[in-house]
A and B are shown apart, each in its own frame.
Chain A
Amino acid sequence: MVREFEDVIIQTLCRFLVPFIQTYSLYVFAHGHSSPGGGFQGGCVMAAAFVLIFIAYDLNEAKRRFREKALLIFCCLGVFIYAGTGWACLLLGSNFLDYGFLSKVLPTDPVKARYYGMAMIELGVQITVMAIMVSIFLDLVTRGEHEEIMEEEGA
Chain B
Amino acid sequence: MLEYLISKYNYWMYVVIILIGFYGMMAKSNLMKKLIGMGIFQWAIIFYFMSISAKKGATLQIISGHHGAYAVARAVDYVNPLPSVLMLTAIVVAVATTGITLSVLILIFRRYGTFEEDEIIKLMNEKGK
Chain A residues proximal to chain B, CB less than 8 Å: 34-36, 40, 136, 139-140, 143-144
Contact between chains at B88 and A140 (CB < 8 Å) = no
Which chain B residues border A34 with CB–CB below 8 Å? 62, 67-68
User: B interface, by DSSP: helix, strand, loop or mixed?
Assistant: helix
Which chain A residues border B67 with CB–CB below 8 Å? 34
Contact of B62 among A35, A40, A136, A140 (CB under 8 A): A35
Q: A34-B67, A144-B106 are in contact. List 7 more A-B contacts (CB 8 A).
A: A35-B62, A40-B92, A139-B103, A140-B99, A140-B102, A140-B106, A143-B106
User: A interface, by DSSP: helix, strand, loop or mixed?
Assistant: loop
Chain B contact patch, size range: under 10
Could you list 15 A-B pairs, sorted by A, with CB under 8 Å?
A34-B62, A34-B67, A34-B68, A35-B62, A36-B62, A40-B88, A40-B92, A136-B99, A139-B103, A140-B99, A140-B102, A140-B103, A140-B106, A143-B106, A144-B106
